[in-house]
Amino acid sequence: MSDRQTTIHELKERMAKFVHERDWEQFHTPKNLSMSISIEAAELMEHFQWLTVEQSKSLEPDALQDISEELADIVIYSLSLSNFLELDLADAILQKMEKNRRKYPKEKVKGKSHKYTYYKENDGDDQ
C-alpha cells in the first residue's frame, strides 16, 4: 500500500477499528486527543531542536525513520479526532487549502518570507 492508493477514509477506518478493539473510545476524547497531537508534535520537534535550519535538511537514515514514526503518530491522532467529531478530513483540508490560496495570492507573496509573516499577522485584513 502507499500514498497513491490509500484514501483518508481507509486510514480512518483502520484507526476506528484499532480504538474500538481496545475499548479506548473513552480515552480518545477531543480534549485528550488535542493533547496527544501536541505531545507527538513536540516529539517530532525534538529531532530538530539543536540543528540549524540548514542542518535540518540533511538527515541520517536513522533520524529519518524516527521522524517518520513521529509524523505518523501526529496524523494517527488527527484521524482519531476526525472520527470522534465525524469530520470529513479531506474536505476540511481541501477547504483550508482554498482559503489559504485566497489569503496568500501567489503573485503577491512569491518568495517573500517577510510578506508571509506580515500576512499571517494581518489575518483577515488581506482578504
Answer for the pair 8, 89: CB distance below 8 angstroms, yes or no: yes
Q: Does 111 bind its own copies (CB under 8 A)?
A: yes
| Under rule CB under 8 A, residue 96 binds its own copies | yes
Instruction: Give the CA distances from residue 42 to residues 48, 67, 77, 95, 106, in Å, rounded to whole numbers and listed in that order.
Output: 10, 11, 14, 26, 31
Interface with its own copies, residue 118, by CB under 8 A: no
Query: Does residue 101 interact with its own copies by CB under 8 A?
Result: yes
Answer for which of 5, 123, 124, 125 binds its own copies (CB under 8 A) is: 5
Question: Would you count residue 127 as binding its own copies (CB under 8 A)?
Answer: no
Instruction: List, as own/partner pairs, every contact residues 36-42 make where C-beta atoms lie below 8 angstroms and the sequence separation is at least 24, other chains included.
Output: 36/77, 37/74, 37/77, 37/78, 37/81, 40/70, 40/73, 40/74, 40/77, 41/74
Which parts of 27-86 interact with its own copies (CB under 8 A)? Answer: 27, 29-32, 34-39, 41-57, 59, 64, 67-69, 71-76, 78-79, 81-82, 84-85
Residue 124 binding its own copies, by CB under 8 A: no
